[in-house]
Amino acid sequence: METAPLIELRSVFKHFGAGDARVEALVDVSLAVAPGTVAGLLGPSGSGKSTLLNVIGCIIEPSAGVVRIDGVTVWDGRWRSGDLRRLRLDKIGFIFQSHNLLPFLTAIENVALAPSLAGRNAEAATARARELLDYLGVGHRGHALPAKLSGGEAQRVAIARALANRPRIILADEPTAALDSQRAGSVLDLLRKVAREHEAAVVVVTHDENIFDRFDTIFQIRDGALIGKN
């Protein structure tokens, strides 16, 4: 029996502007990503990668098409969720090229912030943060400020923050761009571990050829359109 996808887009279009200034950012994009899968999203600068990631993340509204997240239609001409912030908190974890950790909070506090925003009490949020930092091998750095973390450690803390509310979907925008090849491979191995052990769907935007072999599926995009899948 085939597993239902956690991410599904059907004939999604997105344009910005109008008339002579209109730009077609996404053109008839259809894709699906199943649980336990790490998918790479590749393409040149300006190809639509970030726009596509933001559509999946329910940050940018499409111009046409259907977006389904975890089996539920969230956009089909209009947003179907009355609370997109709650949807993102509950369903989607985001990882960025820069770790974007708050510099005045420790690693534990940075990770605990996400479950706190979702309504968990301080004790539960801190316990969840400790659990994740241990899981990702940086539990011993929990009381360090971001400035005291190595690049690889900071990215692991960022991954912990993305996992804090147990999302089924992880979206990563160039998460290894600031890392050397060894640390980049380590981060992708962690994302593969997360996908397998938590039955999550992970989508990674990258230019890093050293990590291509870590992907289960690779989507190639150019001029807003998918041109291939490996």
Rounded average pLDDT over 165-191: 86
DSSP track, 49-101: HHHHHHHHTTSS--SEEEEEETTEEEESSSB--S-HHHHHHHHEEEE-SS---
Per the rule left: phi > 0, alpha: psi between -120 and 50, beta: everything else, 128 is: alpha
Rounded average pLDDT over 158-184: 87
Can you give the pLDDT at residue 190?
86
Exposure of 225 by Cβ count < 10 A (0-12 exposed, 13-18 middle, 19+ buried)? middle
Helices (H), the chain: 49-56, 84-91, 107-117, 122-135, 151-163, 181-198
**Where does the pLDDT of residue 212 fall: very low under 50, low under 70, confident under 90, or very high at 90 and above?**
confident
Can you give the pLDDT at residue 223?
93
| Residues with Cβ within 8 Å of residue 121, at least 6 apart in sequence | none
Question: Residue 214: how many CA atoms within 13 Å on its side-chain side?
Answer: 28
Can you give the pLDDT at residue 213?
87
> Of 37, 19, 4, 56, which is closest to residue 221 (Cα–Cα)?
56
Can you give the pLDDT at residue 55?
96
Q: Please tell me what DSSP assigns to residue 149.
A: S
Higher pLDDT among residues 230 and 115, named by residue = 115
Burial 102-126 (b: 16+ CB within 10 A, else e): eeeebbbbbbbbbbbeeebeeeebb
Can you give the pLDDT at residue 101?
92
**Where does the pLDDT of residue 2 fall: very low under 50, low under 70, confident under 90, or very high at 90 and above?**
low
Can you give the pLDDT at residue 61?
95
**Where does the pLDDT of residue 89 fall: very low under 50, low under 70, confident under 90, or very high at 90 and above?**
confident
Can you give the pLDDT at residue 123?
94
Kindly state the percentage of the chain with pLDDT values over 70.
Answer: 99
pLDDT tops 80 at residue 171: yes
What CATH number should be reported for the domain whose range is 7-229?
3.40.50.300
Domain boundaries, the chain: 7-229
Mean pLDDT of the chain: 91
**Where does the pLDDT of residue 96 fall: very low under 50, low under 70, confident under 90, or very high at 90 and above?**
confident
> Of 219, 197, 230, 182, which is closest to residue 48 (Cα–Cα)?
219
pTM: 0.89
Q: Which two tokens stand for residue 33?
A: 């990503």
